[in-house]
Structure 1
Amino acid sequence: MDVLSDLLHRARATNAQIRQLIQRPPWAMTFADAPPLTVVATLGGRASVRLDDDPGAAPVRLAAGDIALVSGTARYTIADSPDTPPQMVVRDGRKHLIDAGAPAQQPLAPRTYGDGLPGATALLRGAYEIRGEVGERLLRTLTPLAVVPAGPRTRAVLELLAAETAHEAPGQDAVLERLLDLVLVLALREWCARPDARVPSWHRALAAPAIGEALRLLHENPGHRWTVAELAAKVGQSRATFAAHFTAAVGEPPLGYLTGWRMTLAADRLRDTDRTVAAVAREVGYEDAFAFSTAFKRARGASPAHWRRAHRSA
């Protein structure tokens, strides 16, 4: 499994919420308790997205087929135009009217709301509850508002997702979640391929055949007792050449990257499971629980037991 697939798989959250809005201008909705990651796609018409947590951030306009990935913000506004003031606030899953003259929000079909009249803007919104250290690692590949222009590959999937959103059939939730996952993966690919995208160095390193293969091996089996020599042999390079190329591409030595990835996995296991510290240590490649605790405290600033108590209560 490649690194991006591994991150998406481990950070995957169930119960993704998918809604379609078909609304004539003027309209504007503020989401006051945004999830860690939201996918907003314009199916028809035009829209804009504004990050309300960042007063200096300019609204970004979306044309038909554009996809916006919103992350790292607790409050944002979607509107037909940047000039339209918010007419309603969505908080805790409930709509609260600000403007008595707000446009109708009647149900039009399953998961579809608005007025559905000619000239309306059609939007899809999918919300992910991504949690944990792996989720944070995934979100660091994005800026708070990443916009992917319309393209033939994403357009075809968006059309299918829109059709399924307004449909009701057995297994519908599973179909919708997988289609939304596909939209997310395609959008992430497009975003990370942009020359101006500020993505982590490990992501750019995936394009280097030997380094990408080494990263895949580390993610596929993080508990293995890897050595630099073994990794170099696996990818067909000398030890010195591999170590130099890996460090230059990723920004840290191979075993330094492995330690960071193990600590990420360990943090999520400590928070989400009742496994003992010794069991977690073994799962991420440490036979000695004391050595694991030392490494974890160095990386997270607290012992595994203290970190678990603090983050479970939080």
Structure 2
Amino acid sequence: MSDAADRMLWARSALRIHCPHARRDVFVDGLVGDNAIALHRLFLVPARSPGPGGRVVDVAARRSLPLSPGSVLLLPSSRRYRFEFAPGLHLIGYHFRIEVVPGRDVLGDAVRFQRVAGDHALLERTWRAFAGTDMGSWLTTEGVLRSELAALVQPSWAAVEAAVLAQRRWGAVLADLERAGARRAVAGCARRIGMTREGFSRKFQRDLGISPSAWLSRRLADRATELLLYTDRPLASIAEELGFSDAFALSKLVKRVTGQNPSGIRAIRATLPSRRA
């Protein structure tokens, strides 16, 4: 087997697309707002969308891209954007990261704020697929995310290889950190392996490219999102399990990391195939 084929098989076993938000929306009254979240975003505007569509502004760079019908926009994570959606805008949105170590994105600087023309037939097929409940519809929506990323992003294999090595080196520590939840998890984890919090944080940042507190915030938001989507448990119960002082503290973290309130995430449950069958 060739080196290229070996690498493809290896990548399939190591890489995972984490995409807690993928849906279509019609903004009847438009929308104006801004936020910054720890996930990349891919916006697809089908040609059926009426009017000018609106725009997305990268606040720090003072650069804007139009949301015109038939376009595709890619937004890097952790940057503040201003959204100016015109009334009637039809939008497909994916919030995602590609990871080996859960919570750590491998795309990094490969993701740029950009807009390209989309394939009108593909955008229309994707719009219809989001209304479907069958496996074919799900495969279509998943496949579009991957195909668009293939056209827009060229990450290096070196970043993936570094993430695999970091996962092997830090896997047990990450599991311990996640089990501890929000209750002084970083200090406790450092103490259990015989390090100061400061030394632990420096080594973690050097090897994984993210601080332990930022990594834990992402993982706790991931777990909260899964529980909100796939269980009926009250927010207070989820907050207690994850080590938060109350539901409000968890709600703030989920909003900061994902850009959505827990109530909005829970409302998505009604659109899941298992809930509509």
Scaled by the length of structure 2, the TM-score of the pair is 0.49
Look at both structures and tell me which one has the larger radius of gyration over its CA atoms.
1
Structure whose residues are more often helix by fraction: 2
